[in-house]
Structure 1
Amino acid sequence: MLYKVARFVVAVIFFPLYRIKVVGRENIPKSGSVLLCSNHISNLDPPVVGITSSRDIYFMAKGELFEKRFLGKLLTGINAFPVQRGLADRNALRTGLSLLKEGKTLGLFPEGTRSKTGEIGEALAGAGFFALRSEAEVVPCLIVGPYKVGKQLTVIYGKPLDMEVYRSSKTSAKEMADVIMKEIKKLKENYQSR
């Protein structure tokens, strides 16, 4: 319930503020589990992906944020769960996999941190782990800034990746994450060549 309310409030503020344009929303499957992977340019990326996606999304958030009781409850209410950054957090991996098993949508930023330059960086292995260990459809997403009042912000959802070849071969999590980032880069190249 809190998620729906928060999503509505953020949408009412953000859509006119950043003149948000959404492309390819129809590429997000209507049912079944989805792993939504986006580039990361701002702290505002999670709410922007949340309001432009056609599905409710679960995100990982820094573990320290959950230590403050009120904030922890709020984050849990808006579908966030804790991850300890900088180490392989088995609890976060288990939580993410079980959400995907339940047919939910998991939102990830494969770079693991924001890009200071706006350029798309290197992927960490996490996104590849979830893509290979689940049956989820993997959807690449590109956010094109800037986050400036009155300037247009564009969110582009690409077609789901064909995962069969990767899941049936010995692809490593890091290799898979690199493939996902390549798809996000392709979205950027296509956008810039328009």
Structure 2
Amino acid sequence: MDFYSFAKGIVKNILTPLYRIKVIGVEQFPQEGGVLLCANHISNLDPPILGITAPRPIHFMAKEELFRVPILKNLINHLHAFPVKRGMSDRQALRTGLEVLKQGHVLGIFPEGTRSKDGKLKKGLPGVGFFALRTNAAVVPCAIIGPYRPFVPLKVIYGAPIDMAPLRERKASPEEATDYIMQHIQALFDQHH
């Protein structure tokens, strides 16, 4: 068993009963090929929550500062995370993200770039649209709904892959592609709130 699976098992046993996690739509998650998993961001626990509910290992972009803490750096490297510089165009992180998708892995991304204080969906950043347009990866929207309070149910809803072909064909802008993805996340919210 690799470290990711081992850690997933431990975290799952702690968080699932604590937050009474209810997972919806996971059967729609592609079993193979590159997947761009796009979720809203309401808590620092979002990455582990996605990690224990998604059926495949996820590679996350994590803020660069986390890689400066020695113990944390080792841990998140083993959990397939890679650094991204926030607030600027980080070409290395974009290249790494593209490579993850081209190799047929799952890239987990929070389009808003930062946590939403009020739980409402904020505008997504164009980097998400860039990944969606530059690869043929399946784009899976995901909504995390709940207050993150012990024993209060938390819902994780995986939507069906979004058809990005029309946007890729007409060479839509990354901003437009991001907005399109955010509409799908919002629709999951509206449906399950």
Task: Work out whether the TM-score is over 0.5.
Answer: yes
Question: How big is the shift at 1:49?
Answer: 0.5
The match for 2:93 is 92
Q: Separation in 1 of the partners of 2:164 and 2:182?
A: 14
Q: CA deviation at 1:12?
A: 0.3
Amino acid at match of 2:85: Q
Listed one character per residue, the Cα deviations across residues 130-166 of structure 1 (whole Å, up to 9, x for unaligned) are 0001110000000001101010000000000111101
Q: How many angstroms does 1:124 deviate by?
A: 0.5
- The residue correspondences of 1:95-110 to structure 2 (distance < 5 A) are 95-110=96-111
Does 2:132 correspond to 1:131?
yes
Aligned-residue CA RMSD in angstroms? Answer: 0.7
Query: Deviation digits for residues 165-191 of structure 1, max 9, x if unmatched?
Result: 011012100110010000000011111
Partner of 2:29: 28
**Deviation, structure 1 residue 64:** 1.2
Structure-1 separation of matches of 2:3 and 2:65? 21
Partner SS for 1:9:
helix
Residues 1-194 of structure 1: pairs in structure 2 closer than 5 A: 1-192=2-193
Aligned mates of 2:186, 2:65 — CA distance in 1: 31
Rounded Cα–Cα distance in structure 2 between residues aligned with 1:96 and 1:179: 20
Alignment deviations for residues 97-121 of structure 1 (CA, whole Å, 9 cap, x no partner):
0010000000000000000000011
Deviation per CA, 1:13-63, whole angstroms, max 9, x where unpaired?
A: 000000000000011100111000000110100000110001100001111
Please report how far the alpha carbon of residue 2 of structure 1 lies from its aligned counterpart in structure 2 after TM superposition: 1.5
Whole-angstrom CA distance in 2 between matches of 1:170 and 1:60: 25
- Name structure 2 gaps, 5 residues minimum: none
CA distance in 2, matches of 1:90, 1:61: 14
TM-score by length of 1: 0.97
* SS of corresponding position for 2:97: helix
Distance 2:16 2:178 in 1: 30
2-structure distance, mates of 1:140, 1:106 = 12
Q: Which amino acid aligns with 1:138?
A: V
Q: Larger deviation: 87-96 or 69-78?
A: 69-78
Code of the aligned partner of 1:132 = L
SS of the aligned residue for 1:41 comes to coil
Instruction: Return the TM-score normalized by structure 2.
Output: 0.98
Number of equivalenced pairs:
192
Structure 1: state its 5+ residue gaps: none
SS at match of 2:176: helix
Give the secondary structure class of the aligned counterpart of 2:36. Answer: strand
